[in-house]
Copies of this chain bind each other. A is one copy, B any other.
Amino acid sequence: MDVSRQQSEPSPERGPRARTRKLMLETATRLMQSGFTPSVSEVAEAAEVSRATAYRYFPSQAALVHAVVDEALGPILDWRSDAPDALTRIADLLATAMPRIDEFEATFKAALKLSLDQWAQRQAGTLGNEPQFMRGHRVELLRQATAPLEGKVSKESREQLAQALSLVFGLEVLIVLKDIWGLSAERAQSVAEWAAAALVEAAVREAQTAAP
């Protein structure tokens, strides 16, 4: 029996396979958006398929979360901006991404948890070359957002700025500001926007004083 075909082939758009997979994904997404991170068994029950079938499509909770994350990430990865200044781009990026992350908070937290698991297992030496969580989309998005600064600040400064900006943009921001400080999602985003603006302005100002 050629097991390898089942998942490796880019799963046909039609037929029972696609139908069941879609059913499970929608069920999982719905459950996760309600703030709960289900096991494969629980999705199976909610979708009214047998456990065995569920495990055929998603061999682990990790695979399940991975798939839902891809759904949730869609609009964020499609983000583009041709605004002429970096400040506007950053604000726009945050306005696009942060509400989406908040909407899928449970999903992203589950993904973070899994990435921490993977990290721990790498430390222990139990290393399977599994698909990575935390794939660093932030890097590309922030390079895109800080592109208007090319020429205005040095390459090194731009890189450092992008790195600093990645600290005020993402799930971690919501964790810290909502769970520790008790802020609302809106207030958290506002703080993040203020911080992001401050960082951009600092980078620009430094470049100006260095070479006036």
Interface residues of A (CB under 8 A from B): 34-37, 106, 109-110, 112-113, 115-117, 119-120, 123-124, 134, 136, 138-139, 160, 163-164, 166-168, 170, 172-173, 175-177, 179-181, 183, 191-192, 194-195, 197-199, 201-203
Contacts and interface: CB of A to CB of B under 8 A. Distances in A.
Nearest 3 CB-CB pairings of A with B:
A198-B202, A35-B123, A172-B172
B124 A117 contact: no
- A-side interface mostly: helix
Nearest to A113: B116
Contact of A134 (B37, B120, B180): B180
A175 B115 CA distance: 10
A170 B168 CA distance: 13
Given A167-B172, A195-B164, A179 B113 contact: no
Given A134-B180, A167-B195, 5 more contacts: A37-B123, A106-B120, A112-B116, A119-B179, A167-B173
